[in-house]
Protein backbone atom coordinates (compact mmCIF):
# COMPACT_ATOMS: atom_id res chain seq x y z
CA UNK A 1 0.00 0.00 0.00
CA UNK A 2 1.17 3.54 -0.68
CA UNK A 3 1.75 6.05 2.09
CA UNK A 4 -1.69 7.59 1.69
CA UNK A 5 -4.85 5.73 0.74
CA UNK A 6 -8.54 6.59 0.56
CA UNK A 7 -11.08 4.34 2.21
CA UNK A 8 -14.51 4.17 3.82
CA UNK A 9 -15.27 3.51 7.49
CA UNK A 10 -17.25 0.26 7.77
CA UNK A 11 -17.40 -0.04 11.58
CA UNK A 12 -16.33 1.91 14.67
CA UNK A 13 -14.98 0.15 17.74
CA UNK A 14 -14.17 2.89 20.25
CA UNK A 15 -10.64 4.05 19.49
CA UNK A 16 -10.34 1.83 16.42
CA UNK A 17 -12.17 1.88 13.12
CA UNK A 18 -12.55 -0.70 10.41
CA UNK A 19 -11.77 0.78 7.03
CA UNK A 20 -12.27 -0.71 3.58
CA UNK A 21 -9.47 0.31 1.23
CA UNK A 22 -10.14 -1.22 -2.15
CA UNK A 23 -10.32 -4.96 -1.50
CA UNK A 24 -8.50 -4.67 1.81
CA UNK A 25 -10.11 -4.44 5.26
CA UNK A 26 -7.99 -2.77 7.92
CA UNK A 27 -8.55 -2.10 11.61
CA UNK A 28 -6.75 1.13 12.40
CA UNK A 29 -6.61 3.91 15.00
CA UNK A 30 -7.26 7.53 14.14
CA UNK A 31 -5.14 10.59 14.80
CA UNK A 32 -6.08 12.60 17.82
CA UNK A 33 -5.95 15.66 15.64
CA UNK A 34 -7.92 14.38 12.72
CA UNK A 35 -8.29 16.74 9.79
CA UNK A 36 -12.00 17.31 9.04
CA UNK A 37 -12.96 18.75 5.68
CA UNK A 38 -15.99 20.54 7.13
CA UNK A 39 -17.03 22.17 10.37
CA UNK A 40 -19.10 19.71 12.38
CA UNK A 41 -20.25 19.62 15.97
CA UNK A 42 -19.84 15.93 16.71
CA UNK A 43 -16.28 15.08 15.76
CA UNK A 44 -16.54 11.33 15.86
CA UNK A 45 -16.07 8.99 12.96
CA UNK A 46 -19.15 7.05 11.88
CA UNK A 47 -19.82 4.33 9.33
CA UNK A 48 -19.85 5.69 5.84
CA UNK A 49 -17.22 8.34 6.48
CA UNK A 50 -14.77 8.78 3.62
CA UNK A 51 -11.29 8.87 5.10
CA UNK A 52 -7.65 9.16 4.12
CA UNK A 53 -5.16 6.86 5.80
CA UNK A 54 -1.61 7.91 6.39
CA UNK A 55 1.31 5.50 6.76
CA UNK A 56 1.96 1.93 5.82
CA UNK A 57 0.26 -1.12 7.31
CA UNK A 58 0.60 -1.99 10.21
CA UNK A 59 1.21 1.64 11.19
CA UNK A 60 -1.54 3.22 9.11
CA UNK A 61 -3.79 5.74 10.86
CA UNK A 62 -6.86 7.68 9.81
CA UNK A 63 -5.64 11.20 9.16
CA UNK A 64 -8.44 12.97 7.26
CA UNK A 65 -12.21 12.82 7.02
CA UNK A 66 -14.05 13.99 3.91
CA UNK A 67 -17.06 16.32 3.91
CA UNK A 68 -20.27 14.33 4.41
CA UNK A 69 -22.76 14.24 1.57
CA UNK A 70 -25.55 13.31 4.02
CA UNK A 71 -25.63 12.95 7.79
CA UNK A 72 -28.30 10.96 9.62
CA UNK A 73 -28.52 12.33 13.15
CA UNK A 74 -30.64 11.64 16.20
CA UNK A 75 -30.80 13.16 19.64
CA UNK A 76 -28.67 11.03 21.91
CA UNK A 77 -31.15 9.23 24.23
CA UNK A 78 -31.35 10.98 27.60
CA UNK A 79 -28.91 13.72 26.58
CA UNK A 80 -29.06 17.13 24.99
CA UNK A 81 -26.58 16.30 22.29
CA UNK A 82 -26.59 14.73 18.90
CA UNK A 83 -25.50 11.33 17.81
CA UNK A 84 -24.62 10.79 14.17
CA UNK A 85 -25.73 7.35 12.99
CA UNK A 86 -24.11 7.23 9.57
CA UNK A 87 -22.58 9.43 6.90
CA UNK A 88 -22.97 9.47 3.13
CA UNK A 89 -26.06 7.25 3.01
CA UNK A 90 -28.42 8.00 0.11
CA UNK A 91 -31.34 5.77 0.95
CA UNK A 92 -32.87 4.30 4.12
CA UNK A 93 -35.05 1.21 4.37
CA UNK A 94 -37.19 1.79 7.45
CA UNK A 95 -38.13 -1.70 8.59
CA UNK A 96 -41.14 -2.55 10.75
CA UNK A 97 -42.67 -5.96 11.30
CA UNK A 98 -46.08 -6.28 9.64
CA UNK A 99 -47.47 -7.87 12.78
CA UNK A 100 -44.97 -8.71 15.52
CA UNK A 101 -43.08 -7.05 17.24
CA UNK A 102 -46.03 -4.66 17.15
CA UNK A 103 -45.32 -2.01 14.52
CA UNK A 104 -45.13 1.53 15.82
CA UNK A 105 -46.39 4.19 13.37
CA UNK A 106 -45.23 7.05 15.63
CA UNK A 107 -41.66 5.77 15.49
CA UNK A 108 -42.08 5.25 11.74
CA UNK A 109 -43.11 8.90 11.34
CA UNK A 110 -40.06 10.06 13.29
CA UNK A 111 -37.72 7.97 11.18
CA UNK A 112 -39.33 9.23 7.98
CA UNK A 113 -38.99 12.83 9.15
CA UNK A 114 -35.31 12.23 10.00
CA UNK A 115 -34.73 10.84 6.49
CA UNK A 116 -36.43 13.78 4.77
CA UNK A 117 -34.52 16.21 6.99
CA UNK A 118 -31.21 14.54 6.11
CA UNK A 119 -31.98 14.37 2.37
CA UNK A 120 -32.04 10.56 2.47
CA UNK A 121 -34.66 8.80 0.37
CA UNK A 122 -36.88 6.58 2.53
CA UNK A 123 -38.36 3.21 1.62
CA UNK A 124 -40.83 1.64 4.06
CA UNK A 125 -40.48 -2.11 4.43
CA UNK A 126 -42.98 -4.22 6.34
CA UNK A 127 -41.20 -7.49 7.01
CA UNK A 128 -42.50 -10.84 8.29
CA UNK A 129 -45.63 -10.74 6.12
CA UNK A 130 -45.56 -14.57 6.40
CA UNK A 131 -47.09 -13.89 9.84
CA UNK A 132 -49.86 -11.75 8.36
CA UNK A 133 -50.31 -8.01 8.13
CA UNK A 134 -52.84 -7.49 10.93
CA UNK A 135 -50.56 -4.97 12.67
CA UNK A 136 -50.56 -2.55 9.74
CA UNK A 137 -53.82 -3.15 7.87
CA UNK A 138 -55.61 -0.16 9.37
CA UNK A 139 -52.89 2.43 8.69
CA UNK A 140 -50.68 1.28 5.82
CA UNK A 141 -52.97 3.27 3.49
CA UNK A 142 -51.86 6.52 5.15
CA UNK A 143 -48.36 5.96 3.80
CA UNK A 144 -49.58 4.84 0.39
CA UNK A 145 -51.64 8.05 0.16
CA UNK A 146 -48.58 10.08 1.20
CA UNK A 147 -46.74 8.60 -1.77
CA UNK A 148 -44.15 6.52 0.07
CA UNK A 149 -42.36 3.63 -1.57
CA UNK A 150 -43.68 0.64 0.42
CA UNK A 151 -42.47 -2.92 0.26
CA UNK A 152 -44.07 -5.99 1.85
CA UNK A 153 -41.39 -8.56 2.54
CA UNK A 154 -40.51 -11.74 4.33
CA UNK A 155 -36.92 -12.69 4.98
CA UNK A 156 -38.27 -16.16 5.78
CA UNK A 157 -40.13 -16.85 2.51
CA UNK A 158 -37.98 -14.45 0.43
CA UNK A 159 -41.05 -12.49 -0.63
CA UNK A 160 -39.98 -9.01 -1.72
CA UNK A 161 -36.29 -9.84 -1.44
CA UNK A 162 -35.68 -9.59 -5.20
CA UNK A 163 -37.35 -6.19 -5.25
CA UNK A 164 -35.35 -5.05 -2.21
CA UNK A 165 -32.13 -6.22 -3.86
CA UNK A 166 -32.90 -4.14 -6.95
CA UNK A 167 -33.62 -1.09 -4.80
CA UNK A 168 -30.32 -1.29 -2.91
CA UNK A 169 -28.03 -2.16 -5.82
CA UNK A 170 -25.66 0.64 -6.71
CA UNK A 171 -26.59 2.82 -3.74
CA UNK A 172 -25.68 3.19 -0.08
CA UNK A 173 -28.71 2.11 1.92
CA UNK A 174 -29.16 2.15 5.67
CA UNK A 175 -31.51 -0.36 7.30
CA UNK A 176 -33.12 0.98 10.46
CA UNK A 177 -36.06 0.22 12.74
CA UNK A 178 -36.87 -1.42 16.07
CA UNK A 179 -35.09 -4.49 17.37
CA UNK A 180 -36.40 -7.84 16.20
CA UNK A 181 -38.09 -6.68 12.99
CA UNK A 182 -35.62 -8.57 10.80
CA UNK A 183 -33.16 -5.96 9.51
CA UNK A 184 -30.24 -8.37 9.71
CA UNK A 185 -32.41 -11.21 8.40
CA UNK A 186 -33.36 -9.15 5.32
CA UNK A 187 -29.72 -8.33 4.67
CA UNK A 188 -28.81 -12.02 4.97
CA UNK A 189 -31.61 -12.75 2.50
CA UNK A 190 -30.15 -10.20 0.07
CA UNK A 191 -26.67 -11.67 0.49
CA UNK A 192 -26.27 -14.88 2.56
CA UNK A 193 -22.51 -14.27 2.58
CA UNK A 194 -22.98 -11.54 5.22
CA UNK A 195 -23.78 -14.16 7.87
CA UNK A 196 -25.16 -11.48 10.17
CA UNK A 197 -26.30 -12.62 13.58
CA UNK A 198 -30.08 -12.84 13.88
CA UNK A 199 -31.80 -12.70 17.23
CA UNK A 200 -34.74 -14.28 18.86
CA UNK A 201 -37.91 -12.58 20.03
CA UNK A 202 -38.53 -12.50 23.76
CA UNK A 203 -41.57 -14.65 24.61
CA UNK A 204 -42.29 -12.42 27.57
CA UNK A 205 -42.33 -9.03 25.84
CA UNK A 206 -42.73 -9.90 22.16
CA UNK A 207 -39.83 -7.54 21.53
CA UNK A 208 -36.45 -8.03 19.95
CA UNK A 209 -33.34 -8.49 22.07
CA UNK A 210 -30.94 -6.05 20.43
CA UNK A 211 -28.87 -8.62 18.61
CA UNK A 212 -27.01 -6.18 16.35
CA UNK A 213 -24.95 -4.03 18.69
CA UNK A 214 -23.00 -1.81 16.34
CA UNK A 215 -23.63 -0.30 12.92
CA UNK A 216 -21.66 -1.73 10.05
CA UNK A 217 -21.34 -0.88 6.40
CA UNK A 218 -21.28 -3.91 4.11
CA UNK A 219 -20.33 -3.96 0.43
CA UNK A 220 -22.96 -5.47 -1.85
CA UNK A 221 -21.84 -8.25 -4.20
CA UNK A 222 -22.60 -6.08 -7.25
CA UNK A 223 -22.15 -2.40 -6.53
CA UNK A 224 -23.26 -0.37 -3.56
CA UNK A 225 -23.31 -0.73 0.20
CA UNK A 226 -25.83 -1.52 2.90
CA UNK A 227 -25.67 -0.52 6.56
CA UNK A 228 -27.00 -2.81 9.27
CA UNK A 229 -27.83 -0.92 12.47
CA UNK A 230 -28.84 -1.82 16.03
CA UNK A 231 -32.58 -1.70 16.83
CA UNK A 232 -34.04 1.63 17.90
CA UNK A 233 -36.44 1.94 20.83
CA UNK A 234 -37.02 5.62 20.27
CA UNK A 235 -35.77 8.31 17.96
CA UNK A 236 -35.35 11.91 19.08
CA UNK A 237 -35.28 14.47 16.30
CA UNK A 238 -32.31 16.80 16.25
CA UNK A 239 -31.70 20.25 14.86
CA UNK A 240 -34.96 20.62 12.99
CA UNK A 241 -36.67 24.00 12.84
CA UNK A 242 -40.41 23.57 13.58
CA UNK A 243 -41.21 25.50 10.40
CA UNK A 244 -39.35 22.89 8.36
CA UNK A 245 -41.32 19.95 9.76
CA UNK A 246 -44.08 20.12 7.16
CA UNK A 247 -41.46 19.65 4.44
CA UNK A 248 -40.75 16.29 6.09
CA UNK A 249 -44.40 15.18 5.79
CA UNK A 250 -45.11 14.96 2.03
CA UNK A 251 -48.86 14.53 2.63
CA UNK A 252 -49.08 17.61 4.90
CA UNK A 253 -46.89 19.59 2.54
CA UNK A 254 -49.18 18.82 -0.38
CA UNK A 255 -52.32 19.72 1.55
CA UNK A 256 -50.72 22.97 2.75
CA UNK A 257 -50.49 24.55 -0.69
CA UNK A 258 -53.74 26.47 -0.23
CA UNK A 259 -53.24 27.74 3.33
CA UNK A 260 -53.80 31.50 3.64
CA UNK A 261 -50.69 32.13 5.69
CA UNK A 262 -47.29 31.18 4.31
CA UNK A 263 -46.18 30.30 7.84
CA UNK A 264 -49.41 28.45 8.74
CA UNK A 265 -48.66 25.79 11.38
CA UNK A 266 -51.97 24.06 10.53
CA UNK A 267 -52.88 23.94 14.22
CA UNK A 268 -55.60 26.59 14.49
CA UNK A 269 -55.18 29.23 11.77
CA UNK A 270 -58.16 30.24 9.62
CA UNK A 271 -58.34 29.13 5.98
CA UNK A 272 -56.04 26.19 6.60
CA UNK A 273 -56.30 23.66 3.79
CA UNK A 274 -54.51 21.04 5.88
CA UNK A 275 -57.29 21.05 8.47
CA UNK A 276 -59.84 21.15 5.66
CA UNK A 277 -58.22 18.04 4.17
CA UNK A 278 -58.44 16.26 7.53
CA UNK A 279 -62.10 17.25 7.88
CA UNK A 280 -62.97 16.07 4.39
CA UNK A 281 -61.12 12.79 4.94
CA UNK A 282 -58.44 13.26 2.26
CA UNK A 283 -55.65 13.56 4.84
CA UNK A 284 -55.15 10.97 7.57
CA UNK A 285 -56.14 12.17 11.05
CA UNK A 286 -53.37 9.99 12.45
CA UNK A 287 -50.66 11.55 10.27
CA UNK A 288 -51.99 15.04 11.03
CA UNK A 289 -51.96 14.33 14.78
CA UNK A 290 -48.45 12.92 14.48
CA UNK A 291 -47.33 16.11 12.72
CA UNK A 292 -48.92 18.33 15.40
CA UNK A 293 -47.28 16.40 18.23
CA UNK A 294 -43.86 16.54 16.64
CA UNK A 295 -44.34 20.23 15.88
CA UNK A 296 -45.15 20.91 19.51
CA UNK A 297 -42.15 18.89 20.63
CA UNK A 298 -39.81 20.81 18.31
CA UNK A 299 -41.19 24.16 19.47
CA UNK A 300 -40.63 23.14 23.10
CA UNK A 301 -37.13 21.85 22.38
CA UNK A 302 -36.26 25.18 20.75
CA UNK A 303 -37.66 27.17 23.67
CA UNK A 304 -35.63 25.47 26.41
Q: CA 105 to CA 222: how far, in whole Å?
A: 33
Among 184, 188, 265, 290, binds Mg ion (CB under 5 A): 184
- Residues 227, 172: contact at Cβ < 8 Å? yes
Element (H, E) at 289: helix 285-303
Q: Which of Mg ion, ligand GTP, Zn ion, none is residue 208 near (CB under 5 to 8 Å by kind)? A: ligand GTP
- Name the binder of 254 from ligand GTP, Zn ion, Mg ion, none, CB < 5-8 A by kind: none
> How many Å apart are CA 58 and CA 168, to the nearest integer?
34
Q: Of 187, 243, 264, 262, whose CA–CA distance to 220 is shortest? A: 187
Phi, psi of 160 (to 5 degrees): 80, -5
Nearer to Zn ion, 234 or 271 (CB): 271
Contact by Cβ (8 Å): 135, 98: yes
- Beta strands 172-176 and 225-228 are parallel
Q: How far is the CB of 123 from Mg ion (least distance, A)?
A: 18
Could you tell me if 66 and 37 are in contact, meaning their C-beta atoms sit under 8 angstroms apart? yes
Nearest to ligand GTP of 48, 208 (CB atom): 208
- Contact yes or no for 251/283 (Cβ under 8 A): yes
Using rule CB under 5 A, residue 284 touches Mg ion? no
- Contact residues toward ligand GTP (CB under 6 A) are 127-128, 130-131, 154-156, 179-185, 198-201, 208, 210-212, 230-231
CB within 8 A of 162, min separation 6: which ones?
A: none
Closer to ligand GTP by CB, 132 or 147: give it: 132
The gap between the terminal CA atoms of the chain, to the nearest Å, is: 51
| C-alpha to C-alpha distance for 276 and 255, rounded to whole angstroms | 9
Q: Which of residues 212-231 bind Mg ion (CB under 5 A)?
A: 212
Instruction: Report, in Å, the least distance between residue 131 CB and ligand GTP.
Output: 5
Which among 4-12, 30-38, 123-131, 177-185 is the span making contact with Mg ion, rule CB under 5 A? Answer: 177-185
CA-wise closest residue to 121 among 183, 46, 174: 174
CA distance 253 to 245: 9
Identify which of residues 73 and 212 has a Cβ nearer to Mg ion in the complex: 212
Instruction: Indicate the residue among 106 and 210 with the shorter CB distance to ligand GTP.
Output: 210
Choose among ligand GTP, Zn ion, Mg ion, none what residue 200 binds, the Cβ cut-off being 5 to 8 Å by kind: ligand GTP
Binding span for Mg ion by CB under 5 A among 3-11, 96-104, 211-219, 270-278: 211-219
Instruction: Compute the least distance from the CB of residue 280 to Zn ion, in Å.
Output: 14
127 near Mg ion (CB under 5 A): no
Residues that bind Zn ion (CB under 5 A): 259, 264, 266, 272, 274
Nearer to ligand GTP, 51 or 114 (CB): 114
Rule CB under 5 A: say whether 73 interacts with Mg ion. no
Binding site for Mg ion (CB under 5 A): 183-184, 211-212
Amino acid sequence: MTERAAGVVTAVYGPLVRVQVGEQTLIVPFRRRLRWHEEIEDRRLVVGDQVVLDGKVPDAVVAEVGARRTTLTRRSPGERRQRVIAANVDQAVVVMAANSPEPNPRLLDRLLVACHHAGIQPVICFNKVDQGTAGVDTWIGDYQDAGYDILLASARTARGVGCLTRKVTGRTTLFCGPSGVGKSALLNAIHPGYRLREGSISEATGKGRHTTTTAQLLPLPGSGFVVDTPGLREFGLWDLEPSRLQGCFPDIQRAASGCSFADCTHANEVDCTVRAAVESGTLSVRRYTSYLKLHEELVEAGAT
